[in-house]
Amino acid sequence: MATPEEAYKRIIPLDFGSVQTVPDSFVWPQASDGVQSGDGLTIPIIDLMDPNAPQLITEACETWGIFRLKGHGIATKLMEDMESECERLFSLPTDQKMKALRSPGGRMIGYGIAPIQSLFSTTMWHEGFTIMGSAIDHARLLWPNDYQGFCDKIDDYQKQMKALAEKLMRILFKALNIPVEEVNWFDDPTNSSGCSLALQLNSYPPCPDPTRTLGLAPHTDTSIVTLLQAQTSGLQVFKDGVGWFAVQPLPDALIVNLGDFTRILSNGRFISVLHRVVVKPIQRYSAAYFFRPPMDFAVSPLLSKDLGPGQVPRFRCVTAKEYSDLKAKHLDEAFSLIEN
Ligand X SMILES: O=C(O)CCC(=O)C(=O)O
**Positions in the binding site for ligand L37FFZMX (CB under 6 A):** 108, 114-116, 130, 198, 200, 216, 219, 221-223, 290, 327
Contacts of 276 (CB under 8 A, 6+ apart): 214, 215, 216, 217, 218, 219, 235, 236, 238, 244
Query: Which is nearest to 120 in space by CA: 245, 33, 217, 201?
Result: 217
Which of ligand X, Fe ion, ligand L37FFZMX, none is residue 115 near (CB under 5 to 8 Å by kind)?
ligand L37FFZMX
Active site residue 284: yes
Which of Fe ion, ligand L37FFZMX, ligand X, none is residue 198 near (CB under 5 to 8 Å by kind)?
ligand L37FFZMX
- Contact between 235 and ligand X per CB under 6 A: yes
Query: Which is nearest to 118 in space by CA: 258, 9, 276, 10?
Result: 10
Which residue, 82 or 178, is less far from ligand X as judged by CB?
A: 82
Stretch that binds ligand X, among 93-101, 227-235, 292-300, 332-340 (CB under 6 A): 227-235
Site string for ligand X, 177-206 (x = CB under 6 A): -----------------------x-x----
Half-sphere CA count of 38, side-chain side, radius 13 A? 18
Return the SS3 of 68: strand
Closest distance of CB 202 from ligand L37FFZMX, Å: 7
Closest distance of CB 151 from ligand L37FFZMX, Å: 19
CB 247 within 8 A of CB 38: no
Judged by CB under 5 A, the number of residues near Fe ion is 1
Which residue, 123 or 286, is less far from Fe ion as judged by CB?
A: 286
Contacts of 9 (CB under 8 A, 6+ apart): none
In sequence order, what are the beta bridge partners of 319?
298
User: Which of these is catalytic: 68, 212, 263, 284?
Assistant: 284
Stretch that binds Fe ion, among 93-101, 221-229, 264-272, 299-307 (CB under 5 A): 221-229
> 26: burial class by Cβ within 10 Å (0-12, 13-18, 19+)?
buried
Which residue, 162 or 327, is less far from ligand L37FFZMX as judged by CB?
A: 327
Give the separation between CA 35 and CA 310, rounded to whole angstroms: 37
Which of Fe ion, ligand X, ligand L37FFZMX, none is residue 286 near (CB under 5 to 8 Å by kind)?
ligand X
Q: What letter does residue 25 receive in the DSSP assignment?
A: G
Give the separation between CA 129 and CA 101, rounded to whole angstroms: 9
Among 81, 85, 127, 221, binds Fe ion (CB under 5 A): 221
CB 227 within 8 A of CB 78: no
Among 189, 210, 234, 293, binds ligand X (CB under 6 A): 234
- Contact between 130 and ligand X per CB under 6 A: no
- Contact between 127 and Fe ion per CB under 5 A: no
Give the separation between CA 122 and CA 24, rounded to whole angstroms: 9
Q: Which residues are designated catalytic?
A: 284
Q: Footprint of Fe ion on this chain (CB under 5 A)?
A: 221
